[in-house]
Structure 1
Amino acid sequence: MAGDTVYPLGVGGIGIETRHVLMALMVGGVAGVIFMVVLLEFDHYTSSVEFCTTCHSMELVAEPYYQSSHYNPASGVRAECGDCHVSEGVFAATWDHLVGSKDLYKQLFGPDYDDPVVNKLHLPDAAFAAREWFRKRDSATCSRCHTIDAIVGTRPATQLIHQQETEGKSCIDCHYNLVHTPVPHRKVFDREAWNRQIEEEFGLEAGSSDTILEQGKRL
């Protein structure tokens, strides 16, 4: 009819294709928000002590942690597994969890880590891998709670050391064996001595630890 407005491309002057694009953007936006919320919750839960100690083998690893200053700090600020062992940022954290899934594979198909003897025999390898992880990231997760310039310490030279002798060094280079069962530095680690120590601790026959390491379990 004369005088009527004609919209050849769609209602309100918006073309049908344009409406489809806008609808797709809206749906995609909502889906993206839901995805991020799920991802954040996933990273939060899988970084918790509750999740990490689901496996019995990790309960063994956590025992010294429960006695450490990271679990029982004077400040009351407790560091959980993910605070130290998971990178900051949702995507970096998710990547760490994906890479860490190989530990689940080892738990299911590798040595019998639930056995305290097997667990402790393999502990040095885990300790060295963890220290290297920290070193590659310049101990970035430590700075979530600790600020080097604010460190005073209880010993006279502590503050001076952190201000003058940290060039080219990472926190983990000096501060290891703080939370979990102590393992010597890689440079001085002696596998033979470690095995003999485990045999004495658990009352095993001399030399049996070598066989246990090879077989991945106690027969």
Structure 2
Amino acid sequence: MNVTVFGATGAIGTLTVTDLLDRGHNVTAYARNPDKLPASWRDRVRVVIGEMSDTSAIDDAVAGADCVVSALGPSLDRKASGHPLIEGTRHILDSMKRHGVDRFVGHATPSILDPREKPTLQTRLISLMGRTMYPRAYRELLGMTDLITNSGLRWTIIRFTAPKDGPAVGDLRVGFFGTDKIGFAVTRADIADFTAAQVDDDRYAGAAPAISN
């Protein structure tokens, strides 16, 4: 499949690109800074450079894709302002509809519930921390998620709480709060692997599974 990855040079995005390549997919990476492109991508990854406000570059990246993966996440810098990823996500979704791309895989946190869930102590704690410690980022995540879930596309949103560095453990808890036992920590390598697996798997289409190690 042809897969376009936004946020491709981030900590999780880079690992996701590698996992997609290992699975035999053709990858287009959308990145803001060409200096962050791994040397190992040379001749293996199609690269489009642009900002999240650049509708022309986004359209170029999405054209010809079978699936779009977003590894974008809000800045946690307290000095950051505005909600650029909300508009950026809107541009991505608009481009997908223009080009007839209907599969979207993205990321969020358990502070945003899946429709089949009810709040638990764990989700309330995560939501409280997000609202009080990073209110701008929290609002941006809400806005991005709202656009995705109301897009009419075959979307999957992967939710996780405490990403950490380290090799993939391979032992994931996947499910929904109130029904399944989901922990807090999960390696970025495991997030990337699970993300890449959703590209051609509709098991969680229209759902927002939470994952942890």
Q: TM-score, normalised by structure 2?
A: 0.24
Q: TM-score, normalised by structure 1?
A: 0.24
Q: Which one has the bigger strand percentage?
A: 2
Q: Which one has the bigger helix percentage?
A: 1
